[in-house]
């Protein structure tokens, strides 16, 4: 089967004060968190989420004395805090070690097909897809696995895809000390597929282009890398 290509018409990130559409107002590329977001420990958060999720299940009419259901509130609470939303906590931010660019490699470096899983902040259902990242070295290079970890860190929080794309791009610019970073994301949204319109075929594409990646030839080269086998 022929691999689906990512179109050059992929939507770039707009200025931060513009609306993306009726449902996606991005007022800041930072995840909106309260000042007291980390007053509670992880264990305290798990305890409180477990209690409240149990109440939700009871309101829905589920019998929590059933062997299959009685452990669900605890499992969900641990999953939220320790796994799927662990990227909210800055203590989990990846520490990226940089290396000297000893080979004087001055061309584009691309890591593509990075699998990510996130959750839509509007309905708390999964977003999943592929991230493709590229940069030009400013004299330092980053270990490839750290790029994956950066993508996963920002994905593991309630998100909109536009913000997620910007966060990954901005973080790589900060770490690498260069504006020359490009990020393209291609994702499925279960809030579209499993509810509402029920469209299981559509995908959403977003892109972040900084520095040399704003040049059309460089942008095209990046997208050609993505589409190559």
Reply yes or no on whether 167 is catalytic: no
The catalytically annotated residue of 159, 167, 173, 191 is 191
Give whole-number Cα distances, 102 to 29, 42, 64, 139, 170, in Å.
34, 42, 60, 8, 25
Catalytic annotation present for 121: yes
The answer to whether 24 is a known catalytic residue is no
Which is catalytic among the residues 50, 119, 120, 171? 120
Specify whether 123 is catalytic.
Answer: yes
Residue 161 among the catalytic residues: yes
Backbone angles phi, psi at 91, to 5 degrees: -70, -20
* Residue of 111, 121, 179, 221 with catalytic role: 121
From 50, 152, 159, 161, active-site residue = 161
Which residue is catalytic, options 5, 48, 55, 122?
122
Residue 192 burial by CB count (10 A; 0-12/13-18/19+): exposed, middle or buried? buried
Longest dimension (CA), the chain: 64
Known catalytic residue at 132: no
Q: Which of 47, 111, 123, 221 is catalytic?
A: 123
48 is catalytic: no
How far apart are alpha carbons 165 and 9 in whole angstroms? 16
Instruction: Return the active site residues.
Output: 120-123, 161, 189, 191
């Amino acid at each position: 089967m022929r691999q689906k290509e990512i179109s050059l018409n992929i939507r770039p990130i707009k200025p931060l004060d513009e609306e993306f559409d009726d449902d996606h107002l991005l007022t800041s590329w930072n995840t909106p968190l309260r000042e007291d977001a980390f007053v509670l420990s992880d264990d305290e958060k798990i305890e409180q989420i477990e209690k409240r999720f149990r109440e939700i299940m009871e309101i829905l009419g589920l019998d929590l004395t059933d062997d299959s259901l009685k452990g669900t509130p605890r499992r969900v609470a641990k999953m939220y805090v320790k796994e799927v939303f662990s990227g909210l906590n800055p203590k989990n931010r990846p520490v990226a070690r940089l290396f000297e660019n000893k080979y004087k490699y001055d061309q584009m470096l691309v890591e593509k097909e990075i699998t990510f899983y996130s959750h839509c902040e509007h309905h708390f259902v999964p977003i999943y897809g592929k991230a493709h990242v590229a940069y030009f070295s400013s004299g330092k290079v980053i270990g490839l696995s750290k790029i994956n970890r950066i993508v996963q860190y920002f994905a593991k929080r309630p998100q909109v895809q536009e913000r997620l794309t910007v966060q990954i791009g901005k973080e790589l610019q900060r770490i690498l000390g260069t504006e020359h970073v490009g990020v393209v994301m291609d994702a499925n949204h279960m809030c579209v597929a499993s509810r509402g319109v029920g469209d299981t075929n559509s995908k959403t594409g977003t892109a972040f282009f900084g520095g040399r990646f704003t040049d059309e030839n460089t942008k095209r080269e990046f997208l050609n890398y993505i589409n190559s086998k």
